């Protein structure tokens, strides 16, 4: 409906619809066959039932224009369909997964693009015949690389976005991520490319017919131009009608594509009525068990157990070496270290989302006794969201700007828990209340750019809690926030951990956060754990010189 309110889009859509409709209704609008000829009527002007007159062979110009449009537009549709079917899926696969398929597909695309299109079309006509449909299939094959390169380039950039990683961590499948988060980014460029390729297909087909290379007997706009050019001195008006049809159709395609792109990219804001709708009271569905006493914690089985973990990259070697780490249900363990110490790589290993070419080179990771090192991606994905969840450090970058907050909360809930949309919506609103957002409905209907960083962090915490995980990994969850909001978020994490008996692995460099929140601490340096113990022990009587260095760097600032 927004397209109808776009003046340029409305005019171009009506014009293109009129052309297509006239072509489809050719038998109704012009009952006379396009090939019916009467030489005595050659070059005759308009007459009753023949508003555009006759051409040099005494054929009705309107009939040839309408039936010719069928062949011209039909050929363009064939070329476009072939290009889309070959170019878009292969571009998505190559851009998202990379690897050998990307290399092979890129090699084929470069080879095809090196071929001179006109020479290939002429050779195809000589070998396969002059049928316009066959030539358009060949043309579709020749222009498919333009779609491949466009889609591949965009997807290769988008797949590195943090909101794509957030979707992976929430447990969504690759198919859902591509169809939801990737396609929406490439749809506008694809629409523009469709218009350009359709225009090229129409123009190239008309050019071949104008040169007399196409299927000579079938009426097309290009063949009409060829015939009119031969008689331009005697009847110059014959050039007008096919030229006008070609120009209007190509122009309407480009303008409509631009309007569609504008409409799709203009996400606007949610209607005021939806923002002010009253919230329906509902009791949050969370596990309400109390945190165990300190004496009981040591007796509980490990929720997360990491033993002798190594993470390596080609050409770099191991960036994490021999890490041992435990997290029990109902406790918060801080993983502390300076930037580059390997703490985030350790967290990513537990989540199974190591960057490209990164791998677990040795060791074991078990969650609730289940070994996850070596699990196939499908099995690992099933654990994310329901067993282990993730809160990232850059809230705004981990929310997809193309979707509302509510949409991004509802999708994992529906996918992982199998709830209907209405039930998932109620649960999402409950989660927003749970993380102390004062106006859940307004936030639910908002886009990420319409909320603050602190609220975005609360939204990500709500998303992490959406499927009742048992282990929460929080990676610098307060880094991008001011001091007051940091305190609120830390208090929220502590309350959620206590009320839901969560095991929390807090990745941070902030010793103040460790002192406020953590039960136990592990200190990392250069990929190794150099000290571990209770938070009180490590912060008050550190044994390792590196830990003392960290504390000496912080304590003077705190004292001041």
Q: Which DSSP string corresponds to 469-522?
A: -SEEEEESTTTTS-HHHHHHHHHHHHHHHHHHT-EEEEEES-HHHHHHH-SEEE
**How far apart (Å, rounded) are the C-alpha atoms in residues 344 and 392?**
10
Nearest CA among 155, 182, 176, 187 for reference residue 84 = 187
Polymer length of the chain: 560
H or E segment and range at residue 12:
helix 7-24
Token readout for 542 is: 């550190």
The whole-number pLDDT of residue 90 equals: 93
Instruction: Output the six-digit token pair for 91.
Output: 């571009």
- Report which of 165, 224, 178, 237 is spatially closest to residue 381, judged by C-alpha positions: 165
Regions in the chain scoring below 70 on pLDDT: 1-4, 130, 213-217, 264-301, 480-481, 554-560
CA distance 224 to 218: 10
Question: Within a 10 A sphere around the Cβ of 199, how many other Cβ atoms?
Answer: 19
What's 305's DSSP letter?
A: E
Query: Using an 8 Å Cβ cutoff, are 357 and 426 in contact?
Result: no
Alpha-carbon radius of gyration of the chain: 32
Phi and psi torsions of 303, nearest 5°: -75, -45
Q: What is the pLDDT of residue 1?
A: 58
- Considering the domain 301-395+471-559 in this protein, what is its CATH number? 3.40.50.300
Helix (H) or strand (E) holding 273: helix 272-275
Q: DSSP state, 313? A: E
Long-range Cβ contacts of 117-124 (<8 Å, 24+ apart): 117/142, 117/204, 121/204, 121/208, 121/213, 122/213
Q: What is the reported pTM?
A: 0.64
238 in helix, strand or coil? Answer: helix
Q: What is the pLDDT of residues 434-462, one digit of tens each?
A: 888 889 999 999 999 888 888 888 898 88
- Write down the pLDDT at residue 559: 45
How many CB atoms are closer than 10 A to CB 124?
Answer: 18
**Which is it for strands 388-391 and 471-475: parallel, antiparallel or unpaired?**
parallel
CATH classification code of 35-265? 1.10.3720.10
190: which DSSP letter?
H
Tokens at 404, concatenated: 């509302």
- Number of helices (H), then strands (E), belonging to the chain: the values are 23, 10
Three-state SS for 60?
A: strand
Indicate the domain borders of the chain. Answer: 35-265, 301-395+471-559
Spatial separation of the C-alpha atoms in residues 85 and 197, rounded to whole Å:
14
List the beta bridge partners of residue 313.
317
Quick one: which of 262, 332, 252, 330 has its CA closest to 291?
Answer: 330
Long-range contacts of 293-302 (CB under 8 A, 24+ apart): 294/519, 297/328, 297/330, 297/331, 297/519, 300/328, 300/329, 300/330, 301/328, 301/329, 301/369, 302/326, 302/327, 302/328, 302/366
β pairing state of 302-313 and 317-328? antiparallel
């Amino acid at each position: 409906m927004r397209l109808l309110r776009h003046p340029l889009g409305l005019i171009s859509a009506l014009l293109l619809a009129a052309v297509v409709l006239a072509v489809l209704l050719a038998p109704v609008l012009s009952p006379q066959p396009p090939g019916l000829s009467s030489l005595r009527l050659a070059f005759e002007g308009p007459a009753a039932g023949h508003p555009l007159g006759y051409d040099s062979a005494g054929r009705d110009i309107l009939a040839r224009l309408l039936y010719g449009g069928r062949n011209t537009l039909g050929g363009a549709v064939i070329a476009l369909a072939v290009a889309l079917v070959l170019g878009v899926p292969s571009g998505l696969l190559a851009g998202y997964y990379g690897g050998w398929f990307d290399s092979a597909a890129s090699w084929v695309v470069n080879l095809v693009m090196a071929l001179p299109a006109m020479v290939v079309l002429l050779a195809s006509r000589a070998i396969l015949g002059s049928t316009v449909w066959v030539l358009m299939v060949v043309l579709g094959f020749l222009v498919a690389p333009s779609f491949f390169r466009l889609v591949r380039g965009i997807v290769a950039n988008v797949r590195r976005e943090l909101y794509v990683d957030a979707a992976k961590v929430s447990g969504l499948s690759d198919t859902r991520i591509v169809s939801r988060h990737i396609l929406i980014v490439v749809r506008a460029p694809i629409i523009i490319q469709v218009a350009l390729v359709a225009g090229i297909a129409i123009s190239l087909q008309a050019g071949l017919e104008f040169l007399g290379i196409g299927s000579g007997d079938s009426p097309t706009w290009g063949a009409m131009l060829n015939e009119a050019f031969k008689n331009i001195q005697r009847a110059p008006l014959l050039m007008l009608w096919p030229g006008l049809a070609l120009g209007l159709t190509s122009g309407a395609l480009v303008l409509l594509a631009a309007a569609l792109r504008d409409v799709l990219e203009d996400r606007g804001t949610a209607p005021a009525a939806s923002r002010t709708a009253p919230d329906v009271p509902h009791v949050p569905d969370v596990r309400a068990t109390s945190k165990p006493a300190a004496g009981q914690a040591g007796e509980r089985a490990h929720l997360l157990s990491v033993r002798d973990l190594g993470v390596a990259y080609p050409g770099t070697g191991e960036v994490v070496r021999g890490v041992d780490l435990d997290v029990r249900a109902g406790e918060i363990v801080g993983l502390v270290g300076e930037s580059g110490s390997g703490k985030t790589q350790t967290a990513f290993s537990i989540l199974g989302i190591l960057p490209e070419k990164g791998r677990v080179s040795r060791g074991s990771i078990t969650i609730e006794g289940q070994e996850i090192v070596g699990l196939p991606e499908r099995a690992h994905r099933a654990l994310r969201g329901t067993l282990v969840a993730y809160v990232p450090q850059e809230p705004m970058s981990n929310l997809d700007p193309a979707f509302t907050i509510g949409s991004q909360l509802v999708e994992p809930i529906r996918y992982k828990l199998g709830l209907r949309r209405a039930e998932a919506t109620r649960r999402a609103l409950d989660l927003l209340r749970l993380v102390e957002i004062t106006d859940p409905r307004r936030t639910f209907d908002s886009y990420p750019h319409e909320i603050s960083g602190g609220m975005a962090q609360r939204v990500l915490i709500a998303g992490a809690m959406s499927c009742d995980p048992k282990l929460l990994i929080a990676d610098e969850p307060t880094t991008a926030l001011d001091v007051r909001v940091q305190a609120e978020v830390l208090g929220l994490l502590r309350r959620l951990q206590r009320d839901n008996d969560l095991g929390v692995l807090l990745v941070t460099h902030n010793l103040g956060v460790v002192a406020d929140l953590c039960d136990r601490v592990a200190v990392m340096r250069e990929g190794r754990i150099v000290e571990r113990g209770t938070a009180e022990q490590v912060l008050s009587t550190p044994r390792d010189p590196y830990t003392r260095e960290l504390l000496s760097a912080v304590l003077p600032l705190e004292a001041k």
